[in-house]
Amino acid sequence: MCGIVGILGKEAVATQVVEALRRLEYRGYDSAGVATLENGLLTRRRAEGKLRNLEIRLSNEPLEGLIGIGHTRWATHGKPNETNAHPHATAKLAVVHNGIIENFRELRAELQSDGYVFATETDTEIVAHLVTRELDRGKSPTDAVAASLPRLRGAFALAFLFQGEEDLLIGARKGSPLAVGIGDGEMYLGSDALALAPFTNLIAYLEEGDWVVLHRKSATFYDKANNPVERRAQRVAAGALLVEKGNHRHFMAKEIYEQPEVVGHTLTQYLDMAAGRVRLPFADKIDWTSLSRLSIAACGTSYYAGLIAKYWFERLARLPVEIDVASEFRYREAPLPDNGLALFISQSGETADTLACLRYARQERQVISAIVNVATSTMARESDVVAPTLAGPEIGVASTKGFTCQLAALACLALAAARARGHLSAEDEARHVQNLIALPGLMANALALEPQIEKLARELSKAKDVLYLGRGTSFPLALEGALKLKEISYIHAEGYPAGELKHGPIALIDEAMPVIVVAPHDALFEKTASNMQEVAARGGRIILITNAKGAAECGIEPETTIIMPDVDPTFAAIVYALPIQMIAYQTAVFMGKDADQPRNLAKSVTVE
Ligand code: M6R
């Protein structure tokens, strides 16, 4: 998660760019850089380490340009040194980037074979060369960007500056946020509105897939099909900028939409993306080989994340997992193995029941590990090993981005365990890592399903009860779907393993009962399809969440089919979580419920 800035100003902009970057430093501070046009020529200043180092460089070698872009980096591909610092440039343009370009390897090979020479280890540099190739073919900067964006897979926000173009900046977003600030004869781009607060509070947000062409006196927005679109600018109150909802009605919606970015950010902590390897920062603190069992405890959504991870640890690493809801575990007096590893999962890091389990495990001389989103929380402080999720503050009471970031961290842990325990070849590790790198881009694609889900939500809002079904990792997702719907729409919902249906809950099926089936086309799909037949035969209303192959082979005609992008089955739950969350959110909103602060609940449950 990096921070990007662009300014079309009336005076020298380098100081303003640095000021905006300071407000984005929370997004990364491995290196920073600025590019401006000095007499029409691209000129860069970059420095390793914190922004302060860039400021020193700029005070020794000032920049005078009236147009500029800037970047503060959180390294994903390549070391955090000056060479890899943004902006990346060719003779014709400079670019700053936040996110991950998933297909950078194939694009780099293609560009190299066309004679383009790479100077860095970053994924971003391919964007610079890709657009330059279009310029070399005679296109205008705007057409060159339009032609290049569809080639990029992954999640990204970009800002471009072109040699000789004193009145042009181009920005683009897919999966990572980007705001446009409108000034008086000046224009701004920033990763968030807070970065732009010293200059303007008139803000327009790019929507998913949008790109924007900025001149000092105009901003022209295009959607992903390159059609001009209107994105209304709104005045954002100064106080609201601190924790802003952007274009969204609720924090929950904003947090759902942040997932491609924050999951990408979380993954970069645990993966060496360039090498295609898992690299845990605390690798030396866990001896996976000597473990006979992993004990997990958590509550609510975090518990469901643990349940999904159980499938990964057991299947990939052959490591038995015992998992329990924390309120049960804490009084169960479970015997724990000598020198065992106990894992606690919590967004807040403060949940009373989970914390009590952690302390029990400490007494039982377990190695204590925790996956937490709040790095300063009690659980983080009381653990031997902390695996942070980088979801950022989660304001909505219903956990969304906290959940998918937990899954991202757990997937990396499971792969590390599998490798250490000798159950994963280097080749398979590289394949899984590539599949994880693909997730943010696939999540961004899944968000495009929202209009269909909005329609579905109108129907669901009439239901009194809803059943969610799934097999394998889709079973805990079914539980999570039911929890989400219950907690914010107050519609009664239950999650079941699809195979358990005939052992009781099938008695509930009638024409009034929506049955949401989570079924990516994986090894268990045929079994789930049989369960769907059983529901269909009894008049049940099936809402199927699957991919194109699943839709073609399900053998029934569901009332609604939500067709997901193709995702490798192992970690598909991380992408399938999104429609599950959107269904609950849209249903609650349609019913006029407060999705952010549902009745009777609290964000952090610090009492028993
Ligand atoms: O902060 P934690 O992850 O420990 O919280 C656990 C649960 O209270 C939490 O996941 C709760 O179930 C959410 N409201 C679910 O959306």
Q: Which CATH class is domain 255-437?
A: alpha beta
Q: Which atom of ligand 1 is nearest to the CA of 406?
A: 3
Q: How far is the CA of 300 from the centre of ligand 1 (A)?
A: 5
Beta bridge partners of 47: 32
CA distance 495 to 493: 7
Check pLDDT > 70 for residue 4.
Answer: yes
Summarize pLDDT for 58-103 with one digit per residue, the tens.
999 999 999 999 999 877 767 778 888 999 999 999 999 998 898 9
**Nearest CA, atom 4, ligand 1:** 346
If one residue of 329, 347, 484, 603 were mutated to test the ligand 1 pocket, choosing by the most ligand atoms within 8 A of its CB, it would be: 347
Average pLDDT over every residue of 379-405: 94
CA distance 107 to 93: 18
**Nearest CA, atom 12, ligand 1:** 300
Where residue 237 falls among pLDDT bands split at 50, 70, 90? low
- In short, whether 394's Cβ falls inside 6 Å of ligand 1 is no
Check pLDDT > 90 for residue 192.
Answer: no
Summarize pLDDT for 519-561 with one digit per residue, the tens.
999 999 999 999 999 999 888 999 999 999 999 999 999 999 9
Check pLDDT > 60 for residue 243.
Answer: no
- In short, whether 200's Cβ falls inside 6 Å of ligand 1 is no
Q: Tell me the fold of 3-242.
A: Glutamine Phosphoribosylpyrophosphate, subunit 1, domain 1 (3.60.20)
What is the CA 101 to chain-centroid distance, rounded? Answer: 14
Asked whether the beta carbons of 354 and 342 are under 8 A apart, the reply is no
What mean pLDDT, rounded, does the chain reach? 93
Please tell me the CATH superfamily of domain 447-590, with its number: Glucose-6-phosphate isomerase like protein; domain 1 (3.40.50.10490)
**Nearest CA, atom 9, ligand 1:** 300
Check pLDDT > 90 for residue 298.
Answer: yes
Closest CA to 245 of 395, 99, 389: 395
Q: Who wins on pLDDT, 356 or 193?
A: 356
Q: Provide the 3-class DSSP secondary structure of residue 432.
A: helix
**Order of strands across the sheet that contains 3-8:** 41-48, 31-38, 67-73, 3-8, 187-190, 179-182, 202-205, 234-235
Tokens of residue 271, six digits: 């993966």
- In short, whether 308's Cβ falls inside 6 Å of ligand 1 is no
CA distance 236 to 255: 19
Q: How far is the CA of 394 from the centre of ligand 1 (A)?
A: 11
Q: Provide the 3-class DSSP secondary structure of residue 469.
A: strand
Q: Who wins on pLDDT, 481 or 607?
A: 481
Greatest mean pLDDT among 29-33, 390-394, 410-414 lies in 410-414
The reported pLDDT for the residue numbered 556 is: 92
Q: How far is the CA of 350 from the centre of ligand 1 (A)?
A: 10
Q: How far is the CA of 398 from the centre of ligand 1 (A)?
A: 7
The reported pLDDT for the residue numbered 601 is: 77
Cα-flanking dihedrals φ and ψ of residue 254, to 5°? -60, -40
Check pLDDT > 70 for residue 339.
Answer: yes
Where residue 607 falls among pLDDT bands split at 50, 70, 90? low
Q: How far is the CA of 489 from the centre of ligand 1 (A)?
A: 16
Q: Provide the 3-class DSSP secondary structure of residue 229.
A: strand
Cα-flanking dihedrals φ and ψ of residue 538, to 5°? -105, 20
Asked whether the beta carbons of 131 and 93 are under 8 A apart, the reply is yes
Question: Is residue 423 classed exposed, middle or buried when 0-12, 13-18 and 19+ CB atoms within 10 A define those classes?
Answer: middle
Q: How far is the CA of 389 from the centre of ligand 1 (A)?
A: 14
- In short, whether 299's Cβ falls inside 6 Å of ligand 1 is yes
Q: Which atom of ligand 1 is nearest to the CA of 351?
A: 4
If one residue of 256, 301, 354, 490 were mutated to test the ligand 1 pocket, choosing by the most ligand atoms within 8 A of its CB, it would be: 301
Check pLDDT > 70 for residue 1.
Answer: no
The reported pLDDT for the residue numbered 376 is: 82
- In short, whether 301's Cβ falls inside 6 Å of ligand 1 is yes
CA distance 283 to 412: 11
Where residue 321 falls among pLDDT bands split at 50, 70, 90? very high
- In short, whether 326's Cβ falls inside 6 Å of ligand 1 is no
Task: Answer whether 3-242 and 255-437 agree in fold.
Answer: no
Residues for the chain: how many in total?
Answer: 608
If one residue of 307, 348, 379, 601 were mutated to test the ligand 1 pocket, choosing by the most ligand atoms within 8 A of its CB, it would be: 348
Summarize pLDDT for 555-596 with one digit per residue, the tens.
999 999 999 999 999 999 999 999 999 999 999 999 999 999
The residues spanned by each domain of the chain are 3-242, 255-437, 447-590
- In short, whether 398's Cβ falls inside 6 Å of ligand 1 is yes
Q: How far is the CA of 601 from the centre of ligand 1 (A)?
A: 10
Check pLDDT > 60 for residue 241.
Answer: no
CA distances from 370 to 294, 302, 378, 388, 593 (A): 12, 11, 10, 8, 33
- In short, whether 531's Cβ falls inside 6 Å of ligand 1 is no
The reported pLDDT for the residue numbered 578 is: 98
Q: Which atom of ligand 1 is nearest to the CA of 603?
A: 14
CA distance 535 to 515: 8
Q: How far is the CA of 598 from the centre of ligand 1 (A)?
A: 13
- In short, whether 347's Cβ falls inside 6 Å of ligand 1 is yes
The reported pLDDT for the residue numbered 50 is: 84
- In short, whether 348's Cβ falls inside 6 Å of ligand 1 is yes
The DSSP H or E segment spanning 143 is helix 141-148
Tokens of residue 286, six digits: 């866990």
- Indicate the DSSP class of residue 40: T
Share of the chain above pLDDT 70, in %: 98
- In short, whether 406's Cβ falls inside 6 Å of ligand 1 is no
- Residue 195 has a CB neighbour count (10 Å cut-off) of 28
Average pLDDT over every residue of 178-188: 96
